[in-house]
Amino acid sequence: MPTWMLIAKGAALRFTLGICALGLLRLLLLTALDMFAALRRAGDRRLPLGQIARQTLSWVAPLARLHRSRPAYSFASFMFHLGILFAGFFLVNHLDILKDLLGISWPSLPKPALDALTLAAIIGGAYLLLYRLYAASSRRLSKLSDYLLLVVILNILLSGYIAGRPWNSIPYDSLMLFHTLNGIALLLVMPFTKIAHCVLYPLIRLGSEIAWHFPPRGGEQVIHALYGPEGRKI
């Protein structure tokens, strides 16, 4: 293996994983502390934990909801996420790297199944990118970072998929370096972009429920903050 590839897959990737893990852990801790503080100030601290858990799990695999709003977009997004998760965590090549870096691993999935999921993720990601570009409603809400993140993820998926094809004419080492560098870039920005929802998602429903548990006299304090001491009659 070329020296530059050894560096990218070794020291560079190890450093990047450390930054990513620490950044995501920081976000989790800050979010948890904010929720504890909000709950401590709340007048009613009772939470429907069972209902929150069911609603959170129902959104992990929202198959029953895909048809309700923008079905094509929802299905493309679902396949995009599904392909990323399975290809990222169950491809034997990735697991070998993880074992070399951290000494941990788990069973892989058959390559044909992962190839199909990766191809589905590529098609889904391309649809999401085109939708952001051509749908005015989505374009108004999109930032440059949203496009760049999609491009980086598509680079990773495409390069990984093409590298395993018998018809690939691109030098394997060059393609793998491109694949690895895009992966490193994604890991570096993960704690600082929307992709952080990969760890914050399980807390979204709980945080939303806590947010509606206002502290005593919270309404009066909001009116005072908005309209001053004189308040406002409703």
**Both structure tokens of 94:** 């990735």
What pLDDT does residue 70 have? 76
Burial class (CB in 10 A: 0-12, 13-18, 19+), 190: buried
CA distance 145 to 16: 20
Contact 157, 118 (CB under 8 A): yes
CA distance 64 to 57: 12
Contact 95, 122 (CB under 8 A): no
What pLDDT, in 10s, does the model give residues 128-155?
999 888 888 788 888 888 899 999 999 9
Average of per-residue pLDDT values in the chain: 82
- Residue 223, number of CB atoms within 10 A of its CB: 15
CA distance 114 to 83: 8
**Both structure tokens of 155:** 């680079």
CA distance 123 to 98: 27
Domain ranges in the chain are 1-8+66-192, 202-234
CA distance 124 to 188: 24
CA distance 172 to 148: 25
What pLDDT, in 10s, does the model give residues 37-78?
877 777 666 777 777 777 777 666 666 666 667 788 888 888
pLDDT in tens, the chain (234 residues): 667 666 677 778 888 888 999 999 999 899 888 888 877 777 666 777 777 777 777 666 666 666 667 788 888 888 999 999 999 999 998 898 888 878 888 999 999 999 999 999 999 999 999 988 888 878 888 888 889 999 999 999 999 999 888 888 888 888 888 999 999 999 999 999 888 888 888 787 777 777 766 666 555 666 666 666 665 555
Contact 9, 184 (CB under 8 A): no
CA distance 40 to 20: 30
Radius of gyration of the chain (CA): 22
